[in-house]
Structure 1
């Protein structure tokens, strides 16, 4: 009996495919497409019968409270028998995938099929009066007396009736103009809306990724330019004095005082060119002759110009040498730090990306359920 159901279901599938009444995912079924199609349809149809079908196939052990999660975490390889059944006609033994397929393409459930075909009769199932097609029914089916079983039908049995059923579905409701809107038309409209929604979300993800990468590049370039002094103005300040703030000289009114380093008269060369190098590991052999250093409190400090130490005037700055670079600095360490920061930033962006994607998906599902 179930073999007859599978055969008619497959006929129904190919008839809908022939008349271009299947969704894109069902026309060319693949494992990932089937899972997405199940999520899409379950967001539209979620009656108790629908939930039972989903639960029997995706969560027979009842591990998930949220059936959407059971679909989303379902192993793709378990769709392979159903894909092969549709594309290659291979045998599929389990009932659950067959019932799921019937649900996906809006075919009769197995229970309804049995009642309509074997309970109310084949003509009732096909929507044909007994007087109108009694001869055709007798030609295609032989009933064994006393057993109540119907012999196996020919391969092309009621093919025409199924095609009529697909091409002329029953009307569901009238619109304001009196025109009839079919359930198939509604399904096609939902497919179009779903495709448009998917494209919009995919474009938003792409924009987010592009903007994030662009923002990271702009931020990195700004840091490099700031460190190189590109943003600094050549105009001298109006103040006539300056003091050392730990990284550079800052202009100040001569009447004010600074208890840390003291105030000195503003010197153009020191004010414009003398700065402390924060990232000393960025220095390479190319910096020899361009950078000066001094050892203070057991640590090396590097500056962009010669002269005396801005805090300890007794210390005279020495020119950078290859020995200092080789033994006290590490350009490779700086590169590794940059790479590490870059990887960390990418990971953070990916996490944010997937969180936003998950949030949008939940909102989309809730919106579909509300409809």
Structure 2
């Protein structure tokens, strides 16, 4: 640091600035500065373009998310009218069952000719569907008793609900599935030794009561009643699962595979809206389960799968499973109570798809 009285020597650049205000160094660097400014301007324009593209992408995603939120909100608002819809469906089904019933009325009077014809048509449709399904079914070490048992499976599924009869009608028209049943076992180990689960785990056939092989278009079923253990009221209890319930679930998984061509998920692979809605339904169901809300065993089993794909494929098949397990009226009531969004998704998205294909054939 210079002290008082010391001589301070100016640098060349400082002297030039003091004299003329512009240095030779500055004059010599003018061209470089102009080039740098041009480069910066060009680079800024490119950057601005990238920012605009990014802004449009973000805006598009925001629009999609906003539409998704609006759809979820509408889905919530639809629960109230959905209850009326389910009630109307139950009344419609009860009326249909009444018109299809055989025999006489309470007073002993017989039904008129039109009602008998309607009943006959319904019986013919059921018999035709069951006959076709039996032609697609292979029973291990078959005999007459086993044949009648399997016919009973299909009849129960068909009669359970108009929704499950529509499912079988689709398979009747499509005829692409093969059903293999072992009536002497509750698992499928005698039908297939090793397989890979939807969670991607290599398993033995003893681990499955039923299994849907999408690649071979095969459904495997252990035809004996399956006893399983669940926790209720903080203690283990044993319950029975009828084979026709499991068969209905596996058949629905195959129907989803045929219709949507998306690994068994109930929406097309490029349908972002329904994919997000279905994921939302699954996540809300998982949150309910994790919070300790009591859910049905079929729902709990579907949500217990390890991977999102396995849960999505299994969850949609809960609907026909519960309709066969509890009957149409009680099954719909339980679904409305436990999984209203799932039932709404099934009624408004899945069923119209199935019906449109059945009507085309």
TM-score, scaled relative to structure 2: 0.21
Decide which structure has greater helix share. 2
Structure ID, larger Rg:
1
Q: Which has the higher contact order (CA 8 A, sep 6+)?
A: 2
Given the two structures, how large is their TM-score scaled by the length of structure 1?
0.21
